[in-house]
Amino acid sequence: MTQANNSTELAGKITRLVEERGWNQEDFARITNLNRHTIRQILQGHGRKLRNATIQACARALGLSVSELRSLPLERLLPRMRGQSPVEADERLKRIMDQVSQPELLAWLQRNEDRARQLTPSEIEELISMQGAGGPLETVGVGRMIELLERKRELIGRVHAIAGSEYLALLEQFVGLVYDKIRVEH
pLDDT tens by residue, 96-110: 888 888 899 999 988
Dmax (CA) for the chain in angstroms is 55
Distance of CA 127 to the CA centre of its chain: 18
Query: With 0-12 CB in 10 A as exposed, 13-18 as middle and 19+ as buried, what is 39?
Result: buried
pLDDT at 33 over 60: yes
* Residue 72: pLDDT over 90: no
pTM: 0.56
The model's pLDDT over 154-171, given as tens digits with 9 standing for 90+, comes to: 788 778 778 777 888 999
Number of residues written out for the chain = 186
More confident residue, 37 or 186: 37
For residue 179, give the H/E element and its range.
Answer: helix 168-185
Instruction: Please write the tens of the pLDDT for every residue from 138-155.
Output: 899 999 999 999 889 878
In whole angstroms, what is the distance from residue 165 CA to residue 29 CA?
Answer: 12
